[in-house]
Amino acid sequence: MPGHEPFTTDDRARIKQFAREAGFDLCGIAPAGNFHELEAFPGWIADGLHGEMRYMESRNEAGDLKRARLAHVAPWARSVIVCAINYNTAEPYSTRVNDRSRGWISRYAWSREDYHEAVLRRLRQVESRLRQPETSNILQSRSYVDTGPLIERVYARYAGIGWIGKNTCIINQQLGSWLFLGVILTSLELAPDLPAPDRCGRCTRCLDACPTHAFVAPGELDARLCISYLTIEKRGEIPDELRSGLGRHVFGCDICQDVCPWNRKAPITRAEEFQPREGLVNPALDWLAEMQADEFRSVFRGSPVRRAKLTGLRRNAVVAMGNSGDEKFLPTLQRLSDDADPVVAEHARWAVNTLKAALGSGL
């Protein structure tokens, strides 16, 4: 199997079989080319729509944005193998949960194992099987799971995994959008798959459902307004005008996926490690708001939730308590108004005033 000649149809099928045997639900191959979807990225960065996510500004030695073109970081890459695995579980969607005393952690972060590790382990199984004796000395490859200097969803589209929805998520006609993506950059010249056709049509449910109006246009997200960004990436104070829009979300947001018609019949994952940890589905808000460092480390060991840090998670919880309309939270919030963490204390004071106003209006 020569290293830089196109694979035959059978060889491409064999790679997809490797992916299935590693536990992936989908696999496709995209060329390592320049796609028109990537052309908007420099302008998106220049307009500051990425907020405080400075890692997206990463540049090569020539000063080029790495994510704007694969050749900026991997000029040797000829093909991108994109793998996807379903992480949906049987738990209700956030839009169907109405318990005011409980918050929402995004579905992807419930898992018993950090998805980065779970997906990367599978990717490396596939990558190792590419390194056959006749290619091992000349093959270059690199695996990424949500950490590489590239925009995975663009390559997923051209690999036929799914289309990019108006909410910027990859949507597969059979599996919906509850998908973790992993990519293998390779120097092998592989015959690419056909891009997936866009099947969103005139539907705008995801755009209409966003509480903070984070979509400035179909397929264009202002991260600074996104609940996922605000509860995970944003440090310090959340802007006052956006706090009420967070509702009871404490880590991430699933609303634009929960309302998507393509997720109505989304199947349940076969991967055991993506089943939810105890206590993370609709967690009690007062438990999170008063959580201490030792418990945070224990409960969220190996979890994506650690990215928010304890300060961020507690901050988010008190905002959610303020938005809850639940009078029972007032004593806790009043106590947290003098918390040693100034960020938590400031948001708790806002929550007290918000909750009192809601109760006074009879809400």
In tens, the pLDDT along 140-168 reads 999 999 988 889 999 999 999 999 999 99
Strand order in the sheet with 179-186: 26-31, 79-86, 179-186, 141-144
**Do 97 and 225 have their domain in common?**
no
**Do 114 and 178 have their domain in common?**
yes
User: In this predicted structure, what is the pLDDT of residue 1?
Assistant: 42
**Do 159 and 221 have their domain in common?**
no
**Do 337 and 218 have their domain in common?**
yes
Out of 16-20, 134-138, 327-331, which region has the weakest mean confidence (pLDDT)? 134-138
For the chain, where are the E strands, in sequence order? 26-31, 79-86, 104-105, 141-144, 163-164, 170-171, 179-186, 215-217, 220-221, 249-251
**Do 96 and 159 have their domain in common?**
yes
Is residue 256 in some structural domain? no
Is residue 255 in some structural domain? no
**Do 111 and 224 have their domain in common?**
no
**Do 142 and 50 have their domain in common?**
yes
**Do 174 and 239 have their domain in common?**
no
Contacts of 43 (CB under 8 A, 6+ apart): none
Is residue 346 in some structural domain? yes
**Do 85 and 159 have their domain in common?**
yes
Is residue 197 in some structural domain? no
Give the domain-ending residue among 151, 186, 221.
186
Q: Kindly list the distances between the CA atom of residue 32 and the CA atoms of 58, 74, 188, 321, in Å, as whole numbers in the listed order.
A: 19, 9, 10, 47
Is residue 345 in some structural domain? yes
**Do 75 and 137 have their domain in common?**
yes
- Give the total number of structural domains in the chain: 2
Q: Specify burial of residue 331 (Cβ count, 10 A radius: 0-12, 13-18, 19+).
A: exposed
Q: Specify burial of residue 289 (Cβ count, 10 A radius: 0-12, 13-18, 19+).
A: buried
Is residue 171 in some structural domain? yes
pLDDT of residue 361 exceeding 80, the answer is: no
Contact 194, 160 (CB under 8 A): yes
Global confidence as pTM? 0.93
CA distance 321 to 332: 9
In tens, the pLDDT along 21-53 reads 999 999 999 999 889 899 899 999 999 999 999
Q: Give the chain's count of helices (H) and strands (E).
A: 13, 10
**Do 154 and 217 have their domain in common?**
no
Is residue 233 in some structural domain? yes
**Do 30 and 167 have their domain in common?**
yes
In tens, the pLDDT along 264-298 reads 999 999 999 999 999 999 999 999 999 999 999 99
Is residue 14 in some structural domain? yes
CA distance 316 to 9: 50
In terms of residue numbers, what domain contains 91? 9-186
**Identity of residue 267:** P
Residues forming the active site: 146
